[in-house]
Copies of this chain bind each other. A is one copy, B any other.
């Protein structure tokens, strides 16, 4: 069975040494509380992830979820773990104190989230979906809705879902058919079928608060006619507790490639009582409040799975004896050398390590932006929001793409044993596969990045970010020892702008150029962004090594990993740059009918 140890040393490196979280927190209102509790949250979160969630991950995968007589049963131990989570006060950490929250910055919840995703992704989705519901209610709900629902979600006694997708539409939500008709009590009757509803039904919590997209009777066509509703599983009674059953049931459970421990439901709404969240027909805006947080959350899933896969691949590579090193025997006392001596095994391990640690830095950098947008000084909010908007699709798509690659490297380190369920490595692959799909596929993130977040503002937000990188390069290039990092970084940073300009120009002639370039563009952007963070980490490590430190091996490993990233992973930008410029014609030339002529008679 796989094991997991929370990487506290590295989390502290990123929080304290790379990103100065203490300083960051102290710049926020009541930030000193956050500084004070950070350590306790890290330590307690680590224990919970290691001791409670990790042991339930493989059994959860094997048992899966079942639906009998309308009751969804989830894997053994999941409910008890959730109770511990609620008793520990975890759901309320970053929530509004007016509704029972602890008012700590969101970034602290995101640090915890990495550990949960590493330990047990399927379990993590039960509380995880509540976050989207909470943020939609917090930002768009009436005071009454907040008092009724948000307080319960923050308490953790109730959980939330996001009900968007329907059988015929996922990306294209303008097509939804679910209808909401006003009733006589300031509410609505919601009718329709939603699919792929994560944590859609279960008995982990006393009630489930569904956030549902639906159309009003007089709604305009398409995505401008979508409204958001809150539809509880049980209608609150007079005392505000879960009362009468509402008209929403789980119709069936999906059989999936992975995340077996999470109940992915078809939810049938049949004249279910619901309440409008936000303005009529403005549901898409309210939904994006949930969605942006959820997208960063999925990026964390990608990174968390790399970390746990890496830890187990490393243990195996140290233990498994197979062949001698090409340069001569390394462990003469053993029947063969441990496979970690072989360069190609190290290539796979270092790929995982570089993406996990680099991904962590990216997530926590993004987490600070989330804090700043939420609670930061007014004059820095806009910049933070612009860069957060830019980084959100990168966090989501880049970290899940390299996450899937990395969990596969974890299998590959195990050789044939990686394919065997008992070892647990293939579960990480199956679980991570969903992260490239839900909350918007990689392709959708790429369009969001290039189309909406960059070209729609003529690259202004991107220039804010590349200027920041440029300034960093100028400062760091003063040090001779940093040239190996700064020279490629500043070159790529410049190229990033040039590529954007070229694609923007091409797109003015043909809008399809955006879609043709987008995924390569997103991946390119991810590699450069991670290089920016790895360069800074290398700089810190060099400084520590020069000063002298009792943790010389830790900082040397950080520097070695930075070198690996720059020499072995960053050259992938070469291919992405070439292919993104190859244009839309190669993609659009072929007649649709001709795609199948090799096999259609």
Q: Within 8 Å CB of A438, what residues of B?
A: 416
Q: Is A512 an interface residue (CB 8 A)?
A: yes
Whether the Cβ atoms of B256 and A419 lie closer than 8 Å is yes
* Interchain CA distance A591-B170 in the complex, whole Å: 47
Mask of A156-181 contacts with B, CB within 8 angstroms, 1/0: 00000000010011111001000000
Tell which of B340, B564, B596 touches A586, judged by Cβ atoms closer than 8 Å. B564
User: Which secondary structure characterizes the binding site on chain A?
Assistant: helix
Residue pair B567, A586 in contact (C-beta under 8 Å): yes
Q: Are B553 and A344 in contact (CB under 8 A)?
A: no
With A433-B419, A557-B590 already in contact, the answer to whether A343 and B512 are too (CB < 8 A) is yes
Selected interface stretch from A129-137, A282-290, A569-577? A569-577
For chain A, give the interface size range. 35 or more
Query: Does the CB pair A589–B571 fall under 8 Å?
Result: no
Q: How far is B162's CA from A156's CA once the two chains are assembled, in angstroms?
A: 55
Kindly report which residue of chain B lies nearest to residue A324, judged by CB atoms. Answer: B172
Q: CB-nearest residue of chain B relative to A6? A: B599
A317-333 vs B, Cβ < 8 Å mask (1 yes, 0 no): 01001110111000000
| A346 at the binding interface (Cβ < 8 Å) | yes
A18 CB → nearest B CB, Å: 13
Q: Does A592 contact B (CB under 8 A)?
A: yes
- In the complex, what residues of B have CB within 8 A of residue A325's CB? 512
Query: How distant is the Cα of A430 from the Cα of B600 in the complex, in angstroms?
Result: 26
* In contact, B430 and A257 (Cβ under 8 angstroms): yes
**A510 contact set on B, CB distance < 8 A:** 327
Task: Assess the A575–B579 pair: CB atoms within 8 A.
Answer: no
Least distance between A601 CB and chain B CB atoms (Å): 7
Q: Is the CB of A429 within 8 A of B421?
A: no
Please, which residues of chain B bring their CB within 8 A of the CB of A418?
Answer: 437
Q: Indicate whether A335 reaches chain B with its CB closer than 8 angstroms.
A: yes
> B311–A596 contact, CB under 8 A?
yes
Binds B, one of A207-215, A234-242, A441-449: A441-449
Asked whether, in the complex, the Cβ of A571 is within 8 Å of the Cβ of B579, the reply is yes
Take A5-B600, A415-B441, A422-B255 as given contacts and tell me if A327 and B586 are in contact as well, using a CB distance cutoff of 8 Å.
no
CA distance A172 to B447 in the complex (A): 47
Contact indicator per residue, chain A 535-553, by CB within 8 Å of chain B (1) or not (0): 0000000000000000101
Min CB gap A6→B, angstroms:
7
**Which A558-586 residues have a C-beta within 8 angstroms of B?**
560-561, 563-564, 567-568, 571-572, 574-575, 578-579, 582-584, 586
A463 to chain B, nearest CB (A): 24
Q: A327 — which chain B residues lie within 8 A by C-beta?
A: 510-512
Pair A172/B420 contact, Cβ less than 8 Å: no
Assess whether B588 is in contact with A171, with CB atoms less than 8 Å apart.
no
Q: What CA separation (Å) do A587 and B569 show in the bound complex?
A: 12
Which residues of B sit under 8 angstroms from A556, Cβ to Cβ? Answer: 590-591, 594
Partner of A257 from B8, B323, B419 at Cβ < 8 Å: B419
Q: Does A486 contact B (CB under 8 A)?
A: no
User: What's the Cα separation between A159 and B268 when bound, in Å?
Assistant: 51
The residue that A519 contacts in the complex, of B338, B347, B446, with Cβ under 8 A, is B347
Q: Is A591 a contact partner of B553 (Cβ separation < 8 A)?
A: yes
Please measure, in the bound complex, the distance between the C-alpha atom of A6 and the C-alpha atom of B579, giving whole angstroms: 31
A420's contact among B254, B429, B553, by CB below 8 Å, is which? B254
In the bound assembly, the distance between CA atoms of A231 and B215 in angstroms comes to: 69
Do B349 and A595 touch across chains, with their CB atoms under 8 A apart?
Answer: yes
Contact of A326 with B357 in the complex, beta carbons under 8 Å: no
Does A347 contact B587, Cβ atoms closer than 8 Å? yes
A589 touches B563 (CB 8 A): yes
20 contacts between A and B (CB under 8 A): A5-B601, A172-B323, A175-B322, A255-B420, A256-B421, A343-B515, A344-B443, A344-B447, A344-B518, A346-B588, A347-B519, A347-B587, A353-B598, A404-B408, A411-B433, A416-B437, A553-B591, A553-B593, A553-B594, A574-B578
Residues of A within 8 A of B (CB): 5-10, 13, 165, 168-172, 175, 196, 254-258, 307, 311, 314, 318, 321-323, 325-327, 335-336, 338, 340-347, 349-350, 353, 357, 404, 408, 411-412, 415-416, 418-422, 426, 429-430, 433-434, 436-438, 441-443, 446-447, 451, 510-512, 514-516, 518-519, 551, 553-554, 556-557, 560-561, 563-564, 567-568, 571-572, 574-575, 578-579, 582-584, 586-601
Q: Identify the 7 closest CB pairs spanning chains A and B, nearest first.
A: A10-B598, A7-B599, A571-B578, A557-B594, A257-B426, A343-B515, A343-B516
Known contacts A556-B591, A557-B591; 14 additional CB pairs below 8 A are A7-B598, A171-B415, A254-B420, A314-B595, A327-B512, A344-B443, A411-B433, A419-B437, A429-B433, A557-B594, A564-B586, A567-B583, A572-B575, A574-B578
